[in-house]
Amino acid sequence: MLCLEMKYYIYIVVIALTWTYSLSAQSEIGDFAPKTDKIVEHSDVRYFYEPFPLEKGTYLLQLGGSISLLPIPIIEVEFPVPAIDLNYKHCIFKNVSLVGVLSTNYYSNILHSGIQFNTNFSQFSIGVANHVGTFAGFINIEGQFENNTAFAFFYMPIVRLGWRMNNASFSASFVASYIFKSETKVSDIDTPGPQGNWNDFFCTVALEQPIFKETLLSIGLSFTISRTPYQAWLLFNTIDQYQYVPEFFFSFQL
């Protein structure tokens, strides 16, 4: 438990140092946009996690990575699981955006997408989204288990809150997932997974800001409470109790 808490502190320190460094870089190259005390309805700076409305037809594409820390009860030691993340947001109507997220490390793949309504009140913004998604995993272990697969279909309601500063944005997302159907197959043995219930609850906090002129960086932490963490499916976990899975992530806007 002490080791887990130390990792939380390390993640927070990494975020703080990254933010401090980027602020220092901005002070040397100048502000990303002219300073103003007025927050316009549609700023030239656009962030992915912040639910600030975009102009119709504009889109965001981000590429980054994440590291999830699997809980001790599953494998007896804390185990980091890396993944590549691709995020997309496209404003299709005023205050309405299409949002999609893909996270993959080849063995575990999560894809979810949906419609998000965004609005703002000066610097404060709020978004409400409904996503549907799927999980797919596969791995072959010669001499032990072959043709191991897993899949799930789920629904995700999402509430996002954001606060815009002059050259940065802080946001928080609250998400739950309802499993329609899931199943794991170990060789020729089919094992039904959770279905017809709420399986995951998580909160994500993100800090986004321009660095190095027009390069936008997003960094943050996500805390998940789950009975069957997707990243642990290949460990054939049978523990039917909620576990805490912290995740550190970063991404760059393309």
pLDDT tens sequence across 108-164: 899 999 999 999 999 999 999 999 999 998 877 666 667 788 888 999 999 999 999
Residue 118 contacts residue 150 (beta carbons within 8 Å): no
| Cα 80 to Cα 66: distance, rounded to the nearest angstrom | 10
2-253 is a CATH 2.40.128.100 domain: yes
pLDDT in tens, 214-226: 789 999 999 988 8
Q: How confident is the model at residue 64 (pLDDT cuts 50, 70, 90)?
A: very high
Mean pLDDT (whole number) for 28-41? 42
Spell out the residues 6+ positions from residue 142 whose beta carbon is closer than 8 angstroms to its own: none
160: which 2 tokens?
């996002």
Straight-line distance from the first to the last Cα atom of the chain, in angstroms, rounded to the nearest whole number: 38
- The pairs formed by 24-29 with CB atoms below 8 angstroms and a separation of 24 or more are 25/211, 25/212, 26/167, 26/210, 26/211, 29/212, 29/213
Domain residue ranges in the chain: 2-253
